[in-house]
């Protein structure tokens, strides 16, 4: 009797990789196999584990992936991500009609003059057109020529319509117009025609400035409490306000205005790019470049880190096609951007390079400063305008600051006391002296253009480097004492109180004593001047 016993089916060993089995392709059983290499899926080339089937014995060992070295040109090619704010998603939905317009307007209503309380009060606020023109021109001459920000032609036209009560500008533009008038009226030496107008109307510049400031505060409250989409009009006013804070306000207020303006600018970047308004886009790019330059200028003059990540989204050097200014103004802004970019590079190398590598680059830095200095001198020789000449003097001040920044951290190195960097100490002392001399030479002009505070800060800050340089055999003759005496004579203009003035006097005697072996006695005199006075000086002026 025979039984038909069915023999068990022999399990075939699955030797192909999973990808080739799914695609029903012939596999060469390597790791990774040639098929996966052809389809660029080497990282997904897998075989079954030995618990499931027999171990494949002819698998080549896994080779390390070849390193790719992308060049800078490769990194710049291709589309980049646009890191916009979430509000842009809602704008995109509204533009594509995925969101009802009424819903969007409810959450983000448009800002208009009809929303203001008593808008007619603004028509009667400014002086007659002839006087308003003089005040507007005064701002252009004293503020905007040195550091151009506003769109002069458009602002002037809106100012004309506001004074003549023919139409009401955008609230952001209205705030800017009032801001320009308020800043102009704070200037001490007003033109005779403006002073004559106030005398005839029994009014004063201080009184009008106070009334304008009150309306500016109302407009700011209106902006804060209105859920509106950020726009270029308010951004332009914010940049002007930040520049004025840079010139006149303490560092804490400046940092607050600068940080808030940068945040406001980044929040509207996507909105301006999406709108089919090329003029608005160009104006935004110009304002963003100006804001980046202001941020970099603060960083260079105060040796701080900038708020903007300039390597990623900063724009220090404007493009001619993106600006609304003429070619002459564009060349000025381009030169300023190049100097600031150079200054930021020095600060970056301070943080990223070793002392030895940074010292090896000193010569390159000095060559760059020399080249920029020649360009600035050529520009000075070609201009006869007072304001334009002063702005190139500011360029020279920036270069003096960058020069001192190169050597300012050598006193903190481990080998400083061993005499290794004596040459750098001499250069730090000489560059600090030249910066002090330059600040004194432009001090009178700085009063006219509201740069007196910043110029004074740079002069006073340079004195802090002198004691350590004198200790390392830097000789200064009698010039340094006369320079300190100059700032002491300006105490009323600089609002230096008596304690700080006494401290500067003690510091003057201290510098004199360093070359007369009386250092200890002078240090005791500084201590007696009071710690609070020293803190006030450093906190108010140097930091």
Centre a 10 Å sphere on the Cβ of residue 118 and count the other Cβ atoms it contains: 7
The alpha-carbon radius of gyration of the chain (Å, integer) is 33
Question: Quick one: pLDDT band at residue 503, thresholds 50, 70, 90?
Answer: low
Helix (H, G, I), strand (E, B) or coil at 517: coil
pLDDT at 371 over 90: yes
What per-residue confidence (pLDDT) applies to 110?
Answer: 59
Token digits of residue 219: 């407009």
pLDDT at 480 over 60: yes
pLDDT digits (tens, 9 = 90+) for 1-28: 454 555 555 555 567 887 788 777 888 8
What does the alpha-carbon distance between residue 373 and residue 367 come to, in Å, rounded to a whole number?
Answer: 10
What per-residue confidence (pLDDT) applies to 112?
Answer: 58
- φ and ψ at residue 447, rounded to 5 degrees: -65, -35
What per-residue confidence (pLDDT) applies to 438?
Answer: 95
What residues contact 341, with CB distance under 8 A and at least 6 apart? 296, 310, 316, 317
How close are the terminal C-alpha atoms of the chain, in Å? 109
What does the alpha-carbon distance between residue 251 and residue 256 come to, in Å, rounded to a whole number?
Answer: 9
Lowest mean pLDDT among 254-263, 304-313, 360-369: 304-313
Residue 307, CA distances (Å) to 84, 254, 356 in order: 18, 12, 28
What per-residue confidence (pLDDT) applies to 55?
Answer: 38
* For range 329-354, the mean pLDDT: 92
pLDDT at 463 over 90: no
Token digits of residue 68: 């790719």
What does the alpha-carbon distance between residue 524 and residue 476 come to, in Å, rounded to a whole number?
Answer: 23
The mean predicted confidence, pLDDT, of the chain is 79
pLDDT at 467 over 90: no
pLDDT digits (tens, 9 = 90+) for 179-229: 999 999 988 889 999 999 999 999 999 999 999 999 888 888 877 776 666
Q: What is the pTM of this model?
A: 0.77
pLDDT at 424 over 50: yes
Give the closest residue to 303 by CA, choosing from 247, 250, 251, 361: 251
DSSP 346-413: HHHHHHHS-HHHHHHTHHHHHHHHHHHHHHHHHHHHT---HHHHHHHHHHHHHHHHHHHHHHTTGGGS
Q: Name the DSSP class of 542.
A: I
What does the alpha-carbon distance between residue 311 and residue 301 come to, in Å, rounded to a whole number?
Answer: 19
What does the alpha-carbon distance between residue 537 and residue 240 come to, in Å, rounded to a whole number?
Answer: 27
Question: Quick one: pLDDT band at residue 524, thresholds 50, 70, 90?
Answer: very low
Question: Quick one: pLDDT band at residue 457, thresholds 50, 70, 90?
Answer: confident
pLDDT at 530 over 50: no
What per-residue confidence (pLDDT) applies to 375?
Answer: 94
């Amino acid at each position: 009797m025979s039984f038909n016993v069915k023999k068990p089916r022999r399990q075939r060993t699955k030797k192909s990789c999973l990808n080739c089995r799914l695609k029903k392709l012939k596999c060469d059983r390597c790791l990774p196999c040639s098929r996966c290499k052809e389809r660029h899926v080497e990282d997904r080339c897998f075989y079954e584990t030995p618990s499931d089937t027999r171990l494949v014995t002819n698998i080549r060992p896994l080779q390390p992936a070849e390193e790719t070295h992308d060049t800078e040109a490769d990194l710049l090619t291709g589309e980049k991500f646009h890191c916009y704010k979430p509000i842009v998603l809602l704008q995109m939905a509204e533009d594509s009609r995925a969101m009802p317009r009424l819903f969007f307007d409810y959450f983000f209503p448009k800002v208009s003059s009809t929303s203001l309380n008593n808008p007619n009060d603004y028509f009667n606020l400014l002086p007659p057109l002839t006087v308003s023109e003089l005040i507007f021109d005064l701002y252009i001459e004293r503020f905007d020529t040195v550091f151009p920000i506003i769109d002069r032609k458009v602002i002037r036209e809106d100012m004309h319509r506001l004074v003549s009560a023919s139409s009401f500008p955008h609230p952001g533009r209205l705030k800017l117009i009032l801001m320009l008038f308020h800043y102009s009226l704070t200037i001490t030496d007003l033109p005779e025609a403006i002073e004559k107008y106030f005398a005839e109307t029994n009014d004063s510049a201080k009184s009008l400035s106070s009334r304008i400031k009150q309306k500016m505060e109302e407009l700011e409250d209106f902006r804060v409490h209105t859920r509106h989409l950020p726009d270029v009009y308010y951004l332009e006013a914010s940049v002007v306000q930040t520049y004025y804070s840079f010139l006149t306000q303490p560092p804490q207020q400046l940092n607050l205005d600068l940080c808030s303006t940068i945040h406001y600018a980044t929040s509207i970047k996507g909105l301006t790019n999406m709108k089919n308004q090329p003029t608005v886009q160009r104006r935004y790019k110009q304002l963003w470049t100006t804001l980046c330059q202001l941020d970099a200028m603060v960083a260079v003059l105060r040796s701080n880190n900038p708020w903007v990540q300039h390597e990623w989204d900063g724009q220090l050097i404007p493009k001619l096609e993106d600006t609304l200014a003429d070619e002459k103004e564009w060349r000025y802004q381009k030169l300023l951007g190049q100097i600031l970019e150079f200054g930021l590079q020095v600060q970056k190398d301070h943080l990223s390079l070793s002392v030895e590598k940074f010292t090896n680059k000193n010569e390159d830095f000095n060559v760059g400063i020399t080249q920029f200095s020649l360009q600035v001198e050529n520009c000075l020789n070609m201009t006869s305008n007072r304001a334009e000449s002063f702005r190139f003097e500011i360029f020279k001040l920036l270069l003096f600051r960058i020069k001192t920044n190169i050597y300012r951290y050598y006193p903190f190195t481990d080998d400083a006391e061993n005499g290794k960097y004596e040459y750098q100490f001499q250069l730090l002392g000489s560059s600090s002296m030249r910066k002090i001399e330059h600040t004194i030479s432009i001090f009178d002009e700085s009063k006219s253009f509201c740069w007196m505070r910043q110029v004074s800060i740079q002069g006073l800050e340079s004195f802090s480097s002198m004691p350590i340089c004198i200790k390392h055999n830097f000789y200064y003759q009698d010039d340094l004492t006369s320079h300190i005496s100059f700032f002491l004579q300006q105490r009323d203009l600089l609002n230096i109180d008596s304690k700080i003035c006494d401290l500067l006097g003690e510091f003057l005697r201290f510098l004199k004593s360093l070359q007369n072996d009386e250092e200890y006695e002078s240090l005791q005199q500084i201590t007696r001047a009071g710690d609070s006075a020293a803190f006030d000086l450093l906190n108010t002026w140097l930091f």
